[in-house]
Copies of this chain bind each other. A is one copy, B any other.
Amino acid sequence: MEIYFVRHGIAVERVNGLDNPERMLTKIGRKKTEKVASRLKELELQFDLVLTSPYTRAQQTAQIFIEAGLSQNLQICNQLSPEGNFIRWWEDWFESAQLANNSRLALVGHEPDLGRWAEILVWGESKDRIVLKKAGMIGVEVPITGSPVGRGQMFWLTPPRLLL
């Protein structure tokens, strides 16, 4: 099955260097993300499920994907937030989710986590070697049985400008 890690679009700046779960997409961030989503639709990409970090900027990004018709299913997943441990969660969740062999999932979240998780799926460990821009995407194919750690194949890594 295919997992697409999607970084949220451009959001308003931090205040005093502090992150805030409520930070929203800027007007430009929203527009760019909409263009990416509509290009993905043109490419006939369809997700069985979009899981998103609960942070506002991620939820807004996921919502744009839903509105573009890329999926009919959206769920919030706390393990995709900056404090989450997606990989551990995935191993449990996956057992019960019973996804089909050809499923496609979009996971909307944050850096540096998304790039690290992709590296862990593909190479078994993270070295922070993936550059994932805002509204950028990483595509990894993983087997649907057993742990996906170190068993993925990376087939997609796009800065958003490739999809505008």
Contact = CB atoms under 8 A, between A and B. Distances in A.
B156 A159 contact: yes
A141 B159 CA distance: 14
Interface string A95-129: 00000000000000000000000000011000101
A162 B133 CA distance: 17
Interface string A127-164: 10111010000000100000000001111111101110
Contact of A154 (B129, B155, B163): B129
A43 interface: yes
Interface residues of A, number: 20
Contact of A159 (B122, B127, B155): B155
Contact of A129 (B130, B152, B157, B159): B152
Contacts of A129: 122-123, 152-154
A153 B130 contact: yes
A130 B43 CA distance: 21
A26 to B, nearest CB: 23
Interface of A: 43, 122-123, 127, 129-131, 133, 141, 152-159, 161-163
16 contacts: A43-B161, A122-B129, A123-B127, A123-B129, A129-B152, A129-B154, A130-B153, A130-B154, A131-B154, A154-B157, A156-B159, A156-B162, A157-B157, A157-B158, A158-B158, A158-B162
